[in-house]
Every structure is written in C-alpha cells, then in structure tokens.
Amino acid sequence: MWQVATVADVRRETATASTIVLEVPDWPGHLAGQHLDVRLTAPDGYRASRSYSIASAWSADTIELTVEKVPDGEVSPYLVDVLKAGDPLEIRGPVGGWFVWKPGQEGPVQLIGGGSGVVPLRSMLQAASGTSTPMRLLYSVRRPESVIYVHDLKELAASDDVDVHLVYTREAPAGEPRVGRIDAELLEQYVYKPTDGATTYVCGPTAFVEAVADLLVAAGHDPARIRTERFG
Amino acid sequence: MNHLDGNAAAGALSELFAVDLTAAIAQCNSCGQTNVFAESHVYVNAPGTVARCSGCDAVLLRVVSTPNDTYLDLRGLTYLRVPST
Ligand SMILES: Cc1cc2nc3c(=O)[nH]c(=O)nc-3n(C[C@H](O)[C@H](O)[C@H](O)COP(=O)(O)OP(=O)(O)OC[C@H]3O[C@@H](n4cnc5c(N)ncnc54)[C@H](O)[C@@H]3O)c2cc1C
Ligand SMILES: [Zn+2]
C-alpha cells in the first residue's frame, strides 16, 4: 500500500550520498534492517520504484533513508540532489523480515557492509545501542571521503560497545597501509570466529555480498547464520 | 544486469500477502532445494519481478503488475513454509 511521506530534512553525508528524513503519518514502527520502496511519478505518468533500507532505529516520529547517487541512475540522483524539505515522497513499507536484527536475539552480531550497504547496518547499530549485544562492524569503502556516517562511526569506535574497522579499496588515509578488498586473512582478523555463535549480516553491491559470503563459508562459518542483502 | 535477492521482492509481495515472505522457506519445484526466500535470485528489470532458485536457476515466482491487475505466478514452488510469529 503506497502512502505519501513528507520530507522533513535532507542532510549531505558525502559528495554523493544524502540522508533523507521522512515524516510518515501513522508509521507502524519497523525492525532494524527493514526497507521501503520509494516510487517516483513523472508528469507524463511514467513511474519508477526502487528499494531503500531504513537507516535509523524506530523512534516514533521520523525515519531516515540514506541514498548513494548512482551516476546515470533513474531514481537516486533525484533523491540525492533534487529532493528537499517539504516535498512529498511516495513510499511502501516497512518490508522485509529476514535481513533484520531483533532486540533479544541470541549471540553477538557481525556487520559487514560495502559502500551504501552500511545503511541497514546503521539501523542495527542504533537499535542495539544500550543493549548488551556485542557488535562488530567491518565497513569497506573506496576512499576516506566515501565513508557514510563518519561522525557516528567515530563515536561508536571510541565506545566499548562496538568494534569498528574500515577497509579501503582504492585509497587509504595517512597511517593506514592496507589498500585492497576484503580477503580471507582480513576476515580472520576482524570478524567473530565460527565458534563464537554470531549472526553475520552482509550488505552491499551484489558482487561484494557474494564474495564476502563465499569467504565466510570457506572459513567455516555456518551458512545458516549468514544473512545477506544485495543492493544491485 | 546483476541479480538482487528476495529482499527486493518484499514490497511487491506485501501487496498480495498478509505475511512477510522473505523469511519463508521455499522449495524449488525443479531441483527440490529448500532455502529461505530472501536467498533467491531476484530480477526486477524484467516486466515485473522474477525470483529464481539459487541452486538451479529455475523460475520460482513471478509478479507482474499492470495498471489494473497484478499477476502472480507460483508454478516454480512446491511450497512456501511461513514461520509463525
Ligand atoms: C533491498 C534493497 C535495499 C537498498 N537500499 C539502498 C540504500 O539504503 N541506499 C542506496 O543508495 N541504495 C539502496 N539500494 C539500491 C537502490 O534500490 C537502487 O538500485 C539505486 O539507488 C540505483 O537506482 P537508480 O534508479 O538511481 O539507478 P538505475 O537507473 O536503476 O541504474 C543505473 C545503472 O546503475 C546500476 N546500478 C543499479 N543499482 C546500483 C547500485 N546500488 N550500485 C551500483 N550500481 C547500480 C544499474 O545496473 C544501471 O546500470 C537498495 C536495493 C535493494 C534491493
Ligand atoms: Zn532449484
């Protein structure tokens, strides 16, 4: 069922990504990891819809999405560059009941994100903050400027609740010698061991998700404890 | 185009089913594999949405919406097991 939300604010995260704050009348609440469909309608009636993860934990009045602009994309450039506070936005959701973290769920949580794949993981980090669930985040980005939620992540990294580790694939900041994709050795170093009983959430571009999931399974992780979401 | 996964079909299926199907266990009618629906391969650029078996690539489910109707083709599934909540 499509409904009309109102944009309360649009916040720049990076040169190519924005967080959109939405007011949704009678929002039923959501679980961390769920997403929405967004639908745009052109003046001639042509419609395009895309899925966007909810970036925030449920806090009653507003929800947040974070959209990374895909060059030449049909929908994302409009959401990132054109949409502004006060605009209406057609949405459907929340949907998805598999790629979710529920408070009280057993065991530690391993989050692994690539690019905008960090969005639903941020919702999980928010939802778990203040609970006793140990979480680790491994976040793969091209370069330091492409880190989304850089302030949140710095704060989290400084706290005892969450371990945050960034992996740079093209260009690393000064003092970080490693540039390259996630490999078996890096997973061995930064993710929970197969015997730790963690649930692992992997999200990002399809090729990233498949590569990471294959490495995890090859390292002995139980496929039943790995949950994935492919962004395309 | 890259495939997505069952999560990408959640919105379209929410128009038709009262329960979330991404967490349901689906059995492929072609190879017999059972897997959570979220792990199926989903293509959204065809007219409508097509979900394929991650094991044998057979079509599990198709949803096509026209301005007036929605067509749901479930021929590729032996069953869907929906967890009770
Ligand atoms: C469940 C789910 C949740 C998602 N959550 C988010 C989110 O939180 N934030 C977010 O920014 N995106 C998210 N996406 C991706 C989003 O739905 C769109 O695919 C993306 O915004 C591009 O749409 P577009 O219309 O701009 O580009 P399109 O016009 O669809 O595509 C333009 C070109 O870019 C390629 N392309 C499509 N998607 C991507 C992509 N994600 N990365 C790289 N290239 C791509 C296409 O193959 C095509 O060649 C999610 C996808 C799914 C399935
Ligand atoms: Zn099959």
The conformation of residue A54, written as its DSSP 8-state character, comes to: B
Residue A82, pLDDT > 80, answer yes
Q: Where are the alpha helices (DSSP H) in A75-205?
A: 76-77, 118-128, 150-158, 184-190
Residue pointed to by tokens 């005892």: A160
Of A55, A79, A84, A54, which is closest to residue A69 (Cα–Cα)? A79
Reported ipTM: 0.94
Q: B13: which 2 tokens?
A: 């299926």
How many angstroms separate the Cα of A107 from the Cα of each of A165, A188, A196? 20, 19, 8
CA of B52 to the centre of ligand 2 (A): 8
Q: Which residue of A has its CA nearest to B1?
A: A232
Contacts of B8 in chain A (CB under 8 A): 51, 230
Strands (DSSP E) along chain A, which ranges? Answer: 3-12, 17-23, 35-41, 47-53, 62-68, 88-95, 109-114, 135-141, 162-168, 199-204, 226-230
Residue where the block lists tokens 């293509």: B43
Of A1, A92, A232, the CB nearest to B2: A232
Closest CA to A229 of A212, A196, A204, A197: A204
Confidence of residue A158 (pLDDT cuts 50, 70, 90): confident
- By the 10 Å C-beta count (0-12 exposed, 13-18 middle, 19+ buried), A200 is classed as buried
Ligand 1 pocket member B58 (CB < 6 A): no
Q: Indicate yes or no: CB of B4 within 8 angstroms of CB of A98.
A: no
Residue among A129, A150, A126 at smallest CA distance from A57: A126
User: For all residues of chain A together, what is the average pLDDT?
Assistant: 95
Q: How far is the CA of A215 from the centre of ligand 1 (A)?
A: 24
Confidence label for B1 from pLDDT (cuts 50, 70 and 90): low
pLDDT band at A112 (very low <50, low <70, confident <90, very high): very high
Name the least confident of A53-57, A75-79, A134-138, B43-47: B43-47
Residue A59's pLDDT band (boundaries 50, 70, 90)? confident
Q: What are residue A4's DSSP bridge partners? A: A90
Atom 10 in ligand 1: residue holding the nearest Cα: A67
Q: What ranges do the domains of chain B cover? A: 4-81
Confirm or reject: Cβ of A149 under 6 Å from ligand 1: no
* pLDDT over threshold 90, residue A140: yes
User: Mind listing the pLDDT tens digit for each residue in B29-57?
Assistant: 999 999 999 999 999 977 899 999 999 99
Instruction: Please check the confidence at residue A40 and state whether its pLDDT lies above 80.
Output: yes
Residue A81 CB less than 6 A away from ligand 1? no
Q: Which residues of A150-163 are buried (b: 16+ CB within 10 A; e: fewer)?
A: eeebeebeeeeebb
A160-188: pLDDT as tens digits? 889 999 999 999 999 998 999 999 999 99
The mean pLDDT of A70-92, rounded to a whole number, is 97
The minimal CB distance from B2 to the residues A51, A93, A206 is found for A206
Structural domains of chain A ordered from first start: 3-95 (2.40.30.10), 109-231 (3.40.50.80)
Q: Please report the pLDDT score of residue A156 as a whole number.
A: 83
**Global pTM value:** 0.96
B8 and chain A in contact, CB less than 8 A? yes
Indicate the residue of A93, A206, A231 with minimum beta-carbon distance to B11.
A93
Q: Would you tell me how many other CB atoms lie within 10 Å of the CB of residue A214?
A: 11
Per-chain residues with Cβ under 5 A from ion ligand 2: B 28, 30-31, 33, 53, 55-56, 58
Q: What is the pLDDT of residues B52-83, one digit of tens each?
A: 999 999 999 999 988 888 899 999 999 999 98
Mean pLDDT of A117-140: 95
Q: Among the residues of chain B, which ranges form H helices?
A: 10-14
